[in-house]
Amino acid sequence: MTKEELFKTFHNIGLVPVVKIDDASKAEKLAKAMIDGGIPCAEVTFRTEAAEEAIKRMSKAYPEMLIGAGTVINPQLAEKAVMAGAKFIVSPGFNPETVEWCLHHNVPVVPGVATPSEIEKGLSYGLNVLKFFPSEASGGVPMLKDLSGPFSQVKFMTTGGININNLPDYAKASNVLAIGGSWMVKADLIANDQWDEITRLCKEAVIKLQGLSLAHIGLNTPSEKDALDVASQFEKLGMTVNNGNSSVFMNKEIEIMKKMYFGKNGHIGFKCYDVERTAYFFEKQGFTVNKDTVTYDAKGNMKFCYFNEEIGGFAFHIVKG
Ligand code: 3PG
């Protein structure tokens, strides 16, 4: 996997659990619990003796999983991690020696930064994906917003003080590539073999990350005349007509199509924080993107797509909202 593919997958999965494991014999069970929870990705930190062996065991049992090493504070640890199977290296701070070792060995590296000067240092090494750490203590989402001005080319993996409650704020930030943290895989949950709870916490985070909500319901009618007839019924209920090119919107909640469009019964529009990420999530649930319907914004980010399947006779699409 190239560095670009790795970072794209980070973006699509969107979550990187930060693991501290004391007993390497639990590594496979932990990996399975995370995969079952929809997060085939982890940063296993070198904060315990078991880290190296855990990386080895997880990588062997689940080669498709993105296992990286965290708390890699020198090149020796980076080498150890890569030998064990780590696919990427993360560090809490910016150690030029570690970064140089990784670049020299073509290993994706995400060093930690918390200031503009450190970001510039990263850029001088050609790195435009950096870890923002410790995120909450360093200013959190407002700081990330301020950094997006001068450093629009940089994307961050953010960790430190993130939990299920402030996760949506990070998910909405345009310069956050992926969100990391230990809350889904807390050391005591691992120590107590609470695999179901880890799976539950991962699932909860994956759902919350999408920010899915109902945008509108779409009704099919065969013509503009029919659409306006239907609209006049809703108008009696106090809704406002907004006559567009291909449909009539009633407020923002009901879209009346001017021709028989997708869906036996019509369609459901969902809002989400990041269309590409949520399309990836829906595909993991067995749905498939209708490629002919994908649209992009000026920056090349996906902003809309339908899926090929129907739910209860309704087609459905997602839109950035
Ligand atoms: C890290 O190394 O990224 C942090 O320890 C994770 O922070 P958290 O424990 O606050 O989630």
Spell out the per-residue pLDDT of the chain, length 321, in tens: 899 999 999 999 999 999 999 999 999 999 999 999 999 999 999 999 999 999 999 999 999 999 999 999 999 999 999 999 999 999 999 999 999 999 999 999 999 999 999 999 999 999 999 999 999 999 999 999 999 999 999 999 999 999 999 999 999 999 999 999 999 999 999 999 999 999 999 999 999 999 999 999 999 999 999 999 999 999 999 999 999 999 999 999 999 999 999 999 999 999 999 999 999 999 999 999 999 999 999 989 999 999 999 999 999 999 998
Nearest ligand 1 atom to the CA of 45 is 2
Report how far apart, in Å, the C-alpha atoms of 278 and of each of 111, 135, 204, 207, 287 are. 27, 24, 14, 9, 11
pLDDT at res. 231: 98
Q: What is the pTM of this model?
A: 0.94
Give the separation between CA 255 and CA 246, rounded to whole angstroms: 10
pLDDT of residue 1: 87
Please state, in angstroms and rounded to a whole number, the distance separating the CA atoms of residues 210 and 25.
33
Atom of ligand 1 nearest to the CA of 136: 10
The CA 278 to ligand 1 mean position distance, Å, reads 25
- CB-based contact 94:111 (threshold 8 Å): yes
Residue whose CB lies within 8 A of the most ligand 1 atoms, among 21, 43, 133, 183, for a mutation test: 133
| CB 197, CB 216: distance < 8 Å | no
- Which element (helix H / strand E) includes 213? strand 213-219
Q: Which atom of ligand 1 is nearest to the CA of 92?
A: 2
CA distance 263 to 260: 9
Choose among 120, 175, 169, 117: nearest CA to 145.
175
Q: What is the pLDDT of residues 188-236, one digit of tens each?
A: 999 999 999 999 999 999 999 999 999 999 999 999 999 999 999 999 9
HSE-CB at 103 with a 13 A cutoff on CA atoms is: 12
Residue 159: CB within 6 Å of ligand 1? Answer: yes
112 lines ligand 1 (CB under 6 A): no
Catalytic residues, by residue number, are 43, 131
